[in-house]
Amino acid sequence: MKVITRFAPSPTGYLHVGGARTALFSYLYARHHGGQFELRIEDTDTERSTEASVNAIFEGMNWLGLEYDSEVKYQSKNLARYHEVLDQLLENDQAYYCDCSKERLDKIREQQMKNGEKPRYDGKCRELGLKKSDNTIIRFKTPKTGEVKFKDHVRGEITVANSELDDLVIARADGMPTYNFSVVIDDADMGITHVIRGDDHINNTPRQINIYQALNLPVPEFAHVPMILGDDGARLSKRHGAVSVMQYSDDGYLPEAVLNYLVRLGWSHGDQELFSKAEMIELFDLSGVNRAPSSFNTGKLNWINQQYMQQTDSARLAQLLNNRLAVLGIAVDDSIDLSAVVDMFKDRAHTINELAEMGLFLLQPLTGYDEKAEAKAFKESAIEPLKAVIAKCEAIDDWASADLHQMIADVVAELEVGFGKVGMPVRLALSGQAQGPANDAIMQVLGKDESIQRLQNALSHLRQKFA
Ligand code: GLU
């Protein structure tokens, strides 16, 4: 049997972390088994579905590299098919028209709640044989007896008595099919063998299985993956910060790192943390999906992203850095080699955005000097070392191949002072900070003119201060 899975988002917002994780698991399961992965847009809720959301879903899946195999299916384009099956169910007395008013339904619900009963439709119209009219909905005739049993790949065996289920609505008064109905028709028509989705749908599954059975359709296998919690233990939502997948792109994460992070949200393989996509495909199986909810942990995402950044080619990171700088409105001078900036910080930065922040002093004129560092490093005794370094810099013809580290060492030797007496004021002059990359590396990136300019600015600053 060829495995066919699908991701079936409702386009009512961007692709969020939970959806992306579900998509990834479905994708990996299909790829692992040499099967097919499909995308279906569940857009029958015309009020809440938007084209912008559809595009956001494509964008997110594309960014993460979750390729699907066939043309995207849209439920909104499949209405004729749903109506065909609805008619069939009505004809076979497996569904019926219901004209119960909202007021009546509210009232019985209220009464049931008062009696401590589970609210459900009481079946008033089930045997009335009503004809279609403007305000009739269609309900599915759930069997009154018996039970639904299925083996969930994550949750194990689940049994629900039909007496627990009511006659669910399968088409609204405007003729639009409901989720529980259209999902069955599409999953069956698309030959879906494994339905992998969030466990918020687990209560829908027995209802859907009854529909499969009424239509004599093969029932797929199910895997309901546990929800994702925020760091505070509540279900992950907007207020936890970035939940849209594309927000992680904006925040400077690499897609392969986010993918790696997502696969570990609820799935494990021993204690391995880092997985290439090929490895995920090779190792993923539903038996490794945890039953307990997983918690989103930004610290871990940052760690994973840092690991990936360290392994990533500097030219690619430089391109991403360039994009980030463009977002910040910073035009980079042609003389600046962004790969060199990347190399300087890629072991320390967790994200591209952090890298941009760390490297900003190289790309923009300094706006001042760190106060604490200034008190320590810009003493009167720093004037001579700065002058000496400037003189040596000016004498260098071939900056790119100059040994700038040796140049500073020479100044230290000539002035017969400790290394810090030269190194500290030079670093502060070049970077405005006390800590950071090596002075020779900074000067290499800045180039001869800018290096000298910054050293001279510091020198005039010191001269004024001690005049
Ligand atoms: N459109 C449903 C959702 O986004 C799909 C659920 C399913 O995978 O069956 O929740």
Q: What is the pLDDT of residues 322-370, one digit of tens each?
A: 999 999 999 988 889 999 999 999 999 999 999 999 999 999 999 999 9
pLDDT tier, 452 (very low <50, low <70, confident <90, very high otherwise): very high
DSSP assignment of 272-313: -----HHHHHHH--GGGB-SS-EE--HHHHHHHHHHHHHHS-
pLDDT tier, 209 (very low <50, low <70, confident <90, very high otherwise): very high
- The dihedral sign for the CA sequence 150, 192, 280, 313: negative
First-to-last CA distance in the chain?
86
- The dihedral sign for the CA sequence 26, 27, 33, 37: positive
39 lines ligand 1 (CB under 6 A): no
Q: Which CATH architecture does the domain made up of 371-465 adopt?
A: Orthogonal Bundle (1.10)
CA distance 392 to 454: 14
Q: Is the pTM of this model over 0.85?
A: yes
CATH class of domain segment(s) 78-225: alpha beta
pLDDT at 241 over 80: no
The ranges of the chain annotated as CATH 3.40.50.620 are 4-72+228-299, 78-225
251 lines ligand 1 (CB under 6 A): no
Task: Determine the distance separating the centroid of ligand 1 and the alpha carbon of 281, expressed in angstroms.
Answer: 23
41 lines ligand 1 (CB under 6 A): no
Provide the β-strand partners of residue 156: 152
Give percent above pLDDT 90 in the chain.
95
Give percent above pLDDT 70 in the chain.
100
11 lines ligand 1 (CB under 6 A): no
* Beta strands in 26-69, from DSSP E residues, in sequence order: 36-41
Provide the β-strand partners of residue 222: 152, 195
Mean pLDDT for the stretch of residues 161-180: 96
Residue range 254-272, pLDDT digits in tens: 999 999 999 999 999 999 9
Q: Where are the alpha helices (DSSP H) in 312-380?
A: 314-327, 338-345, 352-363, 371-377
Provide the β-strand partners of residue 139: 96, 169
Mean pLDDT for the chain?
96
Locate 248 and state its tokens: 């992680």
Q: Give the burial string for 41-78 (b: 16+ CB within 10 Å, else e).
A: bbbbbeeebeeebbebbbbbbebbebebeeeebbbbeb
Distance of CA 433 to the CA centre of its chain: 34
Task: Determine the distance separating the centroid of ligand 1 and the alpha carbon of 80, expressed in angstroms.
Answer: 21
Locate 41 and state its tokens: 């847009």
CB of 199 closer than 8 Å to CB of 155: yes
223 lines ligand 1 (CB under 6 A): no
pLDDT at 242 over 70: no
Single-letter amino acid code for the residue at 251: D
CATH number listed for the domain at residues 312-363:
1.10.8
201 lines ligand 1 (CB under 6 A): yes
446 lines ligand 1 (CB under 6 A): no
Residue range 59-105, pLDDT digits in tens: 999 999 999 999 999 999 999 999 999 999 999 999 999 999 999 99
433 lines ligand 1 (CB under 6 A): no
The whole-number pLDDT of residue 333 equals 86
8 lines ligand 1 (CB under 6 A): yes
197 lines ligand 1 (CB under 6 A): yes
The ranges of the chain annotated as CATH 1.10.8 are 312-363
Task: Determine the distance separating the centroid of ligand 1 and the alpha carbon of 301, expressed in angstroms.
Answer: 26
Nearest CA-CA partner of 197 in 217, 176, 183, 210: 183
pLDDT at 240 over 90: no
CATH for 4-72+228-299, among 2.60.40.60, 3.40.50.300, 3.40.50.620, 3.40.190.10? 3.40.50.620
Residue range 108-157, pLDDT digits in tens: 999 999 999 999 999 999 999 999 999 999 999 999 999 999 999 999 99
Residue nearest atom 4 of ligand 1, based on CA coordinates: 9
10 lines ligand 1 (CB under 6 A): yes
SS3 label, residue 196: strand
Locate 311 and state its tokens: 């392994």
The ranges of the chain annotated as CATH 1.10.10.350 are 371-465
Nearest CA-CA partner of 307 in 340, 260, 264, 263: 260
Residues 6+ apart with CB under 8 A from 309: 254, 257, 317, 346, 349, 350, 351, 352, 355
pLDDT tier, 162 (very low <50, low <70, confident <90, very high otherwise): very high
Distance of CA 213 to the CA centre of its chain: 37
The whole-number pLDDT of residue 239 equals 78
The whole-number pLDDT of residue 323 equals 97
Q: Which of 44, 201, 224 is the pocket-test mutation for ligand 1 (most atoms within 8 Å of CB)?
A: 201
Residue nearest atom 5 of ligand 1, based on CA coordinates: 8
